Amino acid sequence: MKTVSENRAFGGVQGVYTHQSQATGGEMTFGLFLPPQAQHRPVPVLWFLSGLTCTHENAMVKAGAQEHAARRGLALVFPDTSPRGEGVADDDAYDLGQGAGFYVNATQAPWAPQFRMWDYVADELPRVLFNNFPLDEGAQAITGHSMGGHGALTLAMSLPGRYASVSAFAPIAHPTASDWGRKQFAAYLGADEAPWAAHDATLLMQSQGFDGEVLVDQGSADQFLDLLMPEALAQAMAARRQPGTFRMQAGYDHSYFFVSSFMASHIRFHARALGR
C-alpha cells in the first residue's frame, strides 16, 4: 500500500492510498478519513459508494462528510467505482466500463478478468483497511449515491450482520427494470436475467429486506427519476414493513448539492445505529 496524500481535516486525517488488487488485477485507489478519535482507539466505519463517472475523490471532496464524521467519531471510506488504467476494458459510453463498475462481479468478456467490484468492496478492500488502520471491524455502516446507492443497498441486504445500517442518496433502485441496469447487467453478467436479481435493491427488499434500519433520500427534481425508479423501492419497503424511512426531498436534483444537503442527517442516522 502506498500513501498518495494525507491532509489534516477537522482534527483527523483525510488520506488517499493505492494498493495492488487481486480482485481487479491492478492498482486501486481509495480515500479514508480517520477522525481524531482514531488516535486513541479503533473507530466505527461508514462506507460511501459513489456513482457513475465518479472516482474515490467525488464524495471525498464534495459531500461535506468529514466534519460530521469527526464530530461522531466515524471513519469514512471512499472506494473507487471501477478498475482503471491501461489494459482495463472500457466503453465509449459514460455508463459502462471504467467509472461504471456497478458493484458486481462481471462474468462476461471483456469485463470478467478485472471488473470484480463486488469482491473488491465486500472482501478485499475491507481486509486492506482493517489490517492497516485503527478501524473497528465489528462496527460498520454503508451509504452511497446513485449507482453507489444501488451498491450500498445490495451489499447490505446480501451480507446480513455486516452493516448496522444502510442509507442511500437517489439510488438506482430497480436496475433489472431500468436502462440504468439492464444495459450494464447484460454486458457484465450476460443475457440470462436470473443472476441479475441478486443485484436489484427492489427485488432484494421484496425477498429478504435488511436486518436493520434503512434511510433513503430522493430529490423530487432529479433529472434521472425515470431511470432510478425510487417508487419501486418505496413500495417494496412499505409492503415488507421494512424499518426505515424513505424521503422525497422537494426541489432537489441528482447532484452533490443534494448529497451534501442531507449528509449530516445520514451520518447522524448511521452514528445512532453504531452507538455513537
Residue 149, amino acid: G
Instruction: Check residue 166 and give left, alpha or beta (phi > 0: left; psi -120 to 50: alpha).
Output: beta
Concerning whether 56 is annotated as a catalytic residue, the answer is: no
- Residue 120's pLDDT is what? 98
Whole-number Å distance between alpha carbons of 38 and 44 = 9
pLDDT tens, N- to C-terminus, the chain (276 residues): 999 999 999 999 999 999 999 999 999 999 999 999 999 999 999 999 999 999 999 999 999 999 999 999 999 999 999 999 999 999 999 999 999 999 999 999 999 999 999 999 999 999 999 999 999 999 999 999 999 999 999 999 999 999 999 999 999 999 999 999 999 999 999 999 999 999 999 999 999 999 999 999 999 999 999 999 999 999 999 999 999 999 999 999 999 999 999 999 999 999 999 998
Whole-number Å distance between alpha carbons of 5 and 272 = 31
Does residue 10 contact residue 68 with C-beta atoms inside 8 Å? Answer: no
Q: What CATH number did the domain enclosing 144 receive?
A: 3.40.50.1820
**Residue 38 domain boundaries:** 2-274
Whole-number Å distance between alpha carbons of 70 and 85 = 33
Residue 170, amino acid: A
- Residue 64's pLDDT is what? 97
- Residue 276's pLDDT is what? 80
| Residue among 150, 174, 254, 266 flagged as catalytic | 254
Grid coordinates in use for 107? 462474468
Whole-number Å distance between alpha carbons of 250 and 23 = 40
Whole-number Å distance between alpha carbons of 95 and 183 = 9
| CA quadruple 138, 202, 68, 247: dihedral sign | negative
Q: How many domains does the chain have?
A: 1
The number of helices, as runs of H, and strands, as runs of E, in the chain is 10, 9
Whole-number Å distance between alpha carbons of 37 and 72 = 9
| Residue among 50, 146, 167, 178 flagged as catalytic | 146
CB-hemisphere CA count at 13 Å for 164?
A: 18
Does residue 209 contact residue 183 with C-beta atoms inside 8 Å? Answer: no
Residue 229, amino acid: M
| Residue among 95, 200, 217, 222 flagged as catalytic | 222
Whole-number Å distance between alpha carbons of 185 and 200 = 10
Concerning whether 254 is annotated as a catalytic residue, the answer is: yes
DSSP letter, residue 97: B
Concerning whether 82 is annotated as a catalytic residue, the answer is: no
Strand ranges inside 180-263, DSSP E: 213-219, 244-249
